[in-house]
Amino acid sequence: MNTSIGIGVLGAGTVGGTLITRLVEDRAAIAAKTGLDLRVLRVGVRDLGKERSFSLEYGSVTGDLQSIVDDPDIDLVVELMGGRELAGDLVLAALEAGKPVVTANKELVASRGPELIAAAERSGVPLLFEAAVGGGIPIIRPLSETLAGEPIDRVLGIVNGTTNFILTRMADDGADYADALAEAQELGYAEPDPTADVSGADAAAKAAILASLAFGTWVGIDDVYHEGIETLSPIDMAFAADFGYVVKLVGIAERTGGGVSTRVHPVMIPTAHPLASIRGATNAIFIEGPSVGELLFAGPGAGGDPTATAVLGDVIDAARETLAGAQVSSRIRFSPGELVPFGDVPTKWYLRLEVDDQPGVLAQVASAFGDAGVSIKSVWQEGEGSEALLLIVTHRAPEAAQRAAVDHLRKVKPLRNVASIIRVESEEP
List, by residue number, the catalytic residues.
206
Q: How far apart are CA 268 and CA 240, in angstroms?
A: 7
- DSSP for 153-191 reads -EEEEE--HHHHHHHHHHHHH---HHHHHHHHHHTTSS-
CB atoms under 10 Å from CB of 411, counted, come to 10
270-295 per-residue burial string, b: 16 or more CB within 10 A, e: under 16 = beebebbebbbbbbbbbbebeeeeeb
**Are the beta carbons of 143 and 213 closer than 8 angstroms?**
yes
Q: Is 159 exposed, middle or buried (0-12, 13-18, 19+ CB in 10 A)?
A: buried
Among 135, 159, 132, which residue's Cα sits nearest to residue 144? 132
Backbone angles phi, psi at 103, to 5 degrees: -140, 150
**Are the beta carbons of 271 and 246 closer than 8 angstroms?**
yes
